Structure 1
Amino acid sequence: MNGASPAAERGGVDDAGLLALDPDELADGLVVADEHGRVVVFNAAAVRITDIPRERALGRPLEDALPLEDLEGRRWWRCTDPYGGLATRSGQPERNLLLPGGREVLVTARYVRERPAGPVRRLVISVRDTEARRRSERSHAELIATVAHELRSPLTSVKGFTATLLAKWERFTEDQKKLMLETVDADANRVTRLIAELLDISRIDSGRLEVRRQPVDMPTAVGRHVQAQVAAGQRPERFFVRVAGPLPALWADPDKIDQVLSNLLENAVRHGAGTVTIEVTAARLKNRAEGTAVTVSDEGPGIPEESMARVFTRFWRGSKRGGTGLGLYIVKGLVEAHGGAITVGRAPGGGAEFRFTLPVAAPAYL
C-alpha cells in the first residue's frame, strides 16, 4: 500500500528490519519511516492520537504524513533534518509539538543507522497524547497543595507553643507547660505520619515497596488494634471480632499489615457508626490458592454508590472530618504489594464494608 511492505503493515519483519511485533498492540503512537523518509508503519494509537487516517499516512513522505510544527510555528522535520543533518545525531528528545489545528502531542524520534555516523536507515517516532502528562502534573500539584495544607496547621502550632514557652517559661504552671508540650508532641506525630504517608506513596508509585515476610497471626494483630482503639477512648462494646477457623498459615509483612488494619479501623471509627465488626476467615483466591480474608464493616451511613469507584484513589475523602485522603490509596498499594486485593461495598448493617484478601505466602514460598 503506497510503498509500505505488507510485513510492515502487519507489524512483522520487513526489508528495513522491523521487529516481529504488532504495532497496533502498543499503547503509544508508533510511526516508522524508511531510508527514503516514507512512512511504513502508522499504528492504531498514532491514528487515535493524531486523528490522521492510516491510509493517508502510509507511503507518504514523513513531512506530509505527520506535519509537525514547534510551538513557534516552524516546520519540525525541516528544522531537525533527520536524514541530512549531523551524522552523529541519534535522535530527538521528547518535546511538545503541534499538529494542524493546534492538537498538541509529545514526540520522541530515534535515528537508526547501520553503522555509527552512517546514513539513517530508519526513523522511529513515538507519539503520545499530552493529556496523560497533564493528569500526572495535576496529581502532583494536588499532592503538593495537600501536603502544604496538612503541614501548615501542626507546624504553626508547634512554632507558636515553643515560641511562647521560650519567651514566657516562668509565667506558666507545670500543668500548663505539660499541656502545651503534649500538644507539640501530638502535632509532631501528625507531621511524622504525613511524611511516612508520602514515603509510602513514593515507594508504591515507583514499585520500590519492599515486603519483608514473616509469620503473621492475623487474629492477634486484629485484637491488638482493637485494644489500641479502646485505650484511645473507644468503648470496648463497640467492637465485635469474629474468627472463623481454622486459618491457613500466613506469611506477610507485619508492619504493613498493621498499617492496613490501623487505617481501616480508624476509618470505621471516625466515619462510621454503631458496632465495628472485624471478621477473619480463610479464603480461596482466584488462582485457587489459599488465603486469609479480613472484613471491616460498620453501621454508619456507608459510602454512596457513585463514590465507590473512587475510594482507593488519591485525595478521596468520605467526609469533611479531616485527613489527607491518602490513607486508602496507601492501603490498596500495601495489600497489592502482598499479591492480595481489597474491595469496598455496603455492609449488612448499612455501613461501609472493606474486605482484603492475602495469599498465605509469596509465590516463592508456595
Structure 2
Amino acid sequence: MHPDDLPEGIVVADGTGRVVCFNAAASRITGLTAADALGAAFQQVLPLEDVDGRRWWQVTDPYGGLATRTGQPERNLLLPGGREVMVAARYVRAYPKGPLQRLVVTLRGTEARRRAERSHAELIATVAHELRSPLTSVKGFTATLLAKWERFTDDQKRLMLETVDADANRVTRLIAELLDISRIDSGRLEVRRQPVDMAAAVRRHVEAHIAAGRSADRFAVRVSEPLPGLWADPDKVDQVLGNLLENAVRHGEGTVTIEVAAAPLRHDEEGTAVTVSDEGPGIPEESMSRVFTRFWRGSKRGGTGLGLYIVKGIVEAHGGTIAVDRAADGGARFRFTLPVGAPAFLA
C-alpha cells in the first residue's frame, strides 16, 4: 500500500531526525507540500505545541529521551496558526532500549471529534429540556398534595395523580430512548428473535389508537396474504410500529394507511415489508436525507427528535432496511423491510 492511500497523515523521520516520508493526508492537514517536508528536520516540519504553548518535541525528546519508551499516545496539539490536530508517535528501535531508527507520527484532523462533541452536547441539552418539564410537573403536584391533601376533593386528587403518572411515563420513555441510542451507537443493540405476526401487531397498534379516542376512519389496514413466517424481536417491532404510526397521526393528515406484504430480498431471501403513509403535506425533498438522523423534527417542534433514529437502528439491527419518500396522495411514506430471520438460538 502506498502512504498516499492512507486516510491519516503519516510523517516518518529517519535515525537522524530528517523526514523521509510525508504522505498526501499530512500535506492536506499541515498545508505543507511533500517537497518542502522531505529532507527537513522533523521539528521544523511539525512545530507542534500543546495548549499551554510548550514545544511538544522539546518535552517528549524522542531521540534523546529514555530508551525504554516506545511512543506517545494520541493527544490534541496545535500547528502554527492555532489549528488543532490529533497526534500520536511511534518510536521504532532495532532492539529494546536501542537507538531510535525511525520516528513515525500520525496526524488526524479534529473535525470528526468536534462533530461528535457537538452531537453529545446537543443530546445532553435536549434530554435536560425534555426532563425538566415532566419533573417540574411531578414535583409541583406531589408537593401540593403533600402540603394540602385535605383541601382537595377526590376528583382533584385523581386528576393530579393521573398527571403525575403520565409525566412519569414520559420520563421512563425518554430514559428508554437514551438507552437505545447508547446501544445503537456502540453496536450492542440486542435482538431476541421470536415468531412475530406482523399483521396482528399492526392491527393491535391501530386498535390502541382508536381506544385512545381517535376515529376508526382515520386508519386503513391492508394485508396481502400470505405472509412469510417472521422471526424478530416483538418488543422492538412494536417500538418501530408505534413510532411510525404516532408520527403519521400527529404530523400527517387524512387517512393513515398501513400496508403489510411479503417482500423478496437479495439472494432469494424472503422478508416482510410494512408501509405507513398519510395524506398530509409530506416531508420536503431537501429534508429526506436527514429524516433518520438525530434530532430531526421536521417543521413541527416537539419531542426529542430521536424516534426515527432509533427506528432505523432497530430495523438495521434485524438486518432490514427502511426508507422514506412521498406517498401517492402527497404525504410521507415510510417503508421498512425485515428479513424472515431465524430463532435467537439459531442466529
Decide whether aligned partners of structure 1 residues 112 and 352 sit closer, same or farther in structure 2, where only a CA change above 3 A counts.
same
Provide the C-alpha distance between the structure 2 equivalents of 1:120 and 1:230, rounded to a whole number of angstroms.
Answer: 75
Provide the C-alpha distance between the structure 2 equivalents of 1:254 and 1:213, rounded to a whole number of angstroms.
Answer: 7
Decide whether aligned partners of structure 1 residues 251 and 363 sit closer, same or farther in structure 2, where only a CA change above 3 A counts.
closer
- Which is worse superposed, 91-100 or 348-357? 91-100
Q: Classify the secondary structure of the residue corresponding to 1:284.
A: coil
C-alpha deviation, 1:287, in angstroms: 4.5
Provide the C-alpha distance between the structure 2 equivalents of 1:253 and 1:56, rounded to a whole number of angstroms.
Answer: 58
Residue 89 of structure 2 corresponds to: 109
CA contact (8 A) 2:134 2:171 kept: yes
Residue 240 of structure 1 corresponds to: 220
With the length of structure 1 as denominator, give the TM-score of the two structures.
0.89
CA contact (8 A) 2:13 2:21 kept: yes
2:273 to 272, 287, 293: 293
Provide the C-alpha distance between the structure 2 equivalents of 1:57 and 1:37, rounded to a whole number of angstroms.
Answer: 12
Residue by residue over 1:4-25, the C-alpha shift from the partner in whole angstroms, topping out at 9 and shown as x without a partner, is xxxxxxx4xxxxxxxxxx4444
Q: Greater RCO between the two (CA within 8 Å, min separation 6)? A: 2
Q: Classify the secondary structure of the residue corresponding to 1:187.
A: helix
CA contact (8 A) 1:32 1:42 kept: yes
Provide the C-alpha distance between the structure 2 equivalents of 1:97 and 1:166, rounded to a whole number of angstroms.
Answer: 56
Provide the C-alpha distance between the structure 2 equivalents of 1:175 and 1:272, rounded to a whole number of angstroms.
Answer: 35
**Is 2:138 aligned against 1:172?**
no
Residue 111 of structure 2 corresponds to: 131
C-alpha deviation, 1:228, in angstroms: 1.2
Provide the C-alpha distance between the structure 1 equivalents of 2:154 and 2:288, rounded to a whole number of angstroms.
Answer: 49
**Is 2:260 aligned against 1:255?**
no
Residue by residue over 1:219-274, the C-alpha shift from the partner in whole angstroms, topping out at 9 and shown as x without a partner, is 11111111111111111121111112322222111111111110000000000010
Equivalences for 1:135-146 in 2 at 5 Å? 135-146=115-126
**Is 2:250 aligned against 1:270?**
yes
CA contact (8 A) 2:231 2:343 kept: no
Provide the C-alpha distance between the structure 1 equivalents of 2:180 and 2:12, rounded to a whole number of angstroms.
Answer: 40
**Is 2:336 aligned against 1:356?**
yes
Q: Classify the secondary structure of the residue corresponding to 1:317.
A: coil
Residue by residue over 1:13-67, the C-alpha shift from the partner in whole angstroms, topping out at 9 and shown as x without a partner, is xxxxxxxxx4444332232333333334333322222222233333433223323
CA contact (8 A) 1:294 1:355 kept: yes
Decide whether aligned partners of structure 1 residues 118 and 316 sit closer, same or farther in structure 2, where only a CA change above 3 A counts.
same
- Which is worse superposed, 90-99 or 217-226? 90-99
Structure 1: give runs of 5+ residues left out of the alignment.
1-10, 12-21
Paired-residue identity, %: 78
**Is 2:51 aligned against 1:71?**
yes
**Is 2:23 aligned against 1:43?**
yes
Q: Classify the secondary structure of the residue corresponding to 1:255.
A: helix
Query: What amino acid does structure 2 have at the position aligned with 1:33?
Result: A
CA contact (8 A) 1:339 1:362 kept: no
2:6 to 26, 38, 44: 26
Residue 220 of structure 1 corresponds to: 200
Q: Classify the secondary structure of the residue corresponding to 1:46.
A: helix
C-alpha deviation, 1:122, in angstroms: 2.9
